[in-house]
Amino acid sequence: MATDLAKFAKDNGVKYFMISFTDLFGGQRAKLVPARAIADMQEDGAGFAGFATWLDLTPAHPDMLAVPDPEAVIILPWNKEIAWVPANCVMEDQPVEQAPRNVLCRLIDEAAAEGMHVKTGIEAEFFLLTPEGDQISDPYDTAAKPCYDQQAFMRRLDVIREISDHMLELGWNPYQNDHEDANGQWEMNWDFDDALKTADKHSFFKFMAKCVAEKHGFRATFMPKPIEGLTGNGCHAHISVWDAPGDKSKTNVFAGEGEGQTGEVGLSERGKHFLGGIMKHASALAAITNPTVNSYKRINAPRTTSGATWAPNTVTWTGNNRTHMVRVPGPGRFELRLPDGAANPYLLQAVIIAAGLSGIRSKADPGKRHDIDMYAEGHTITDAPKLPLNMLDALRAYDSDSGLKDAMGAEFSAAYLKMKRQEWNDFTSHFSSWEKANTLDI
């Protein structure tokens, strides 16, 4: 039986619920609802004027209702009278097809109908900046290779420890935290889970990191490339597929010794075809996994001050080697290193499932494994496509990939392309200091 949120409030001393949904750009929008009103909201949803959200709705549309998913409710560990609850968007009793959490739920159901339950873990890297967002918060964090810097870690221990404590309390099984490869950059890891649970945790993690950072006078950002010349914020996804969801899963259907080069690294035939779908749709799915103008400054970056970008620029896969778009670190799973910190938590999971399912249905071949150092020898690869160079190329690749567009849903794809093209046009009409500096004397 579904959790009764009114009773949940009474039992846990919750005074308010933050009913939250995620728009097409990955922004979280919410209403704060007193516990006295939650019973009705649980039934009917909280009302929003759709036009005011980035969901491609007009002022003439009726109310959009965000119906909370009671099984996903989380009490804020830093403010226990408030509970955050992700919601599914509904209009006139029908799901809003383009709403990201609905897109993911539909794809999870489709995969389940084929006996597949995708589980993922994500690595949501972030920077701690000054509140204005223009500088690293720690002025002493200046090493050329700052990854795992113990002393810099101690100067931000209060922030990282607090977030880690919260994850321990929430039962996410966090297991490690580190100073990442860029000055001011962090990574915190917790256990993998079913795709929807990971998407909700990913959303909540971003919210939590920002709130805790603000409390300490800093600003947490997941922007793909917030500081020129430094490593960007990736959001690597570790993907496996199981026979059942949650605790019922027993068999990893990706694990096995399939044929060929994927079999050698421990992927079953289904694992191979799922990976084949990711490879086949890579340029198009970049429109989702790398959704901003800034995203392409991470994946097509020149060498950073640490010596490596840790981001791919070519559609290649390999064994346990971090210089490729896909790494198979061990049997039964693979790591997609393409996504960045701007990826919408729900659409990220959705596009992985959509591309993977398409690969399984078409028995897609991931192609040849490349076991080279892509950072040093990438120029020698001539048989693999380059990833899109900018957001417009990615949107065009998405638009011309009818298989992926259909799998993500026609309404979603049309709305997403429309909104993102508007954003691109807004960007290109922006008058930059670069063009003045490079054109004034022509």
Minimal distance, residue 322 CB to Mg ion, in Å = 9
Minimal distance, residue 180 CB to Mg ion, in Å = 5
| Residues with Cβ within 8 Å of residue 111, at least 6 apart in sequence | 117, 118, 241, 353, 356, 357
Compare residues 102 and 294 and give the one whose CB is closer to Mg ion: 294
Compare residues 180 and 194 and give the one whose CB is closer to Mg ion: 180
Nearest residue relative to Mg ion (C-beta) = 187
DSSP string spanning 247-289? Answer: GG---BTTBS--SHHHHHTTB-HHHHHHHHHHHHTHHHHHHHH
Compare residues 187 and 423 and give the one whose CB is closer to Mg ion: 187
DSSP-derived secondary structure letter, 306: T
Minimal distance, residue 231 CB to Mg ion, in Å = 9
Q: How far apart are CA 363 and CA 62, in angstroms?
A: 43
Minimal distance, residue 234 CB to Mg ion, in Å = 6
Minimal distance, residue 123 CB to Mg ion, in Å = 5
Q: Are 308 and 180 in contact (CB under 8 A)?
A: no
Minimal distance, residue 237 CB to Mg ion, in Å = 12
Minimal distance, residue 125 CB to Mg ion, in Å = 5
Compare residues 75 and 220 and give the one whose CB is closer to Mg ion: 220
Q: How far apart are CA 270 and CA 356, in angstroms?
A: 9
Residue indicated by tokens 């029908």: 94
Compare residues 23 and 125 and give the one whose CB is closer to Mg ion: 125
Residue indicated by tokens 């297991």: 175
Minimal distance, residue 104 CB to Mg ion, in Å = 24
What residues numbered 159-188 form the site for Mg ion, per CB under 5 A? 187
Minimal distance, residue 185 CB to Mg ion, in Å = 8
Q: Are 114 and 360 in contact (CB under 8 A)?
A: yes
For residues 138-157, one letter each, b for 16 or more C-beta atoms within 10 angstroms of the residue's C-beta and e for the rest, the string is beebeeeebbebeebbeebe
Compare residues 51 and 148 and give the one whose CB is closer to Mg ion: 148
Compare residues 138 and 187 and give the one whose CB is closer to Mg ion: 187
Instruction: Tell me the one-letter amino acid at 257.
Output: E
What is the chain's alpha carbon radius of gyration, rounded to the nearest angstrom?
A: 22
* Structure token digits, residue 87: 């919601």
Compare residues 187 and 193 and give the one whose CB is closer to Mg ion: 187
Residue indicated by tokens 């805790």: 212
Compare residues 211 and 308 and give the one whose CB is closer to Mg ion: 308
Q: How many residues line the site for Mg ion (CB under 5 A)?
A: 1
Site string for Mg ion, 184-223 (x = CB under 5 A): ---x------------------------------------
Q: How far apart are CA 48 and CA 65, in angstroms?
A: 6
Between the CA atoms of 285, 291, 295 and 296, what dihedral angle is there, to the nearest 10 degrees?
A: 50
What residues numbered 373-392 form the site for Mg ion, per CB under 5 A? none
What residues numbered 320-339 form the site for Mg ion, per CB under 5 A? none
Q: Is 269 in the site for Mg ion (CB under 5 A)?
A: no
What residues numbered 10-39 form the site for Mg ion, per CB under 5 A? none
What residues numbered 395-434 form the site for Mg ion, per CB under 5 A? none
For Mg ion, the binding residues (CB under 5 A) are 187
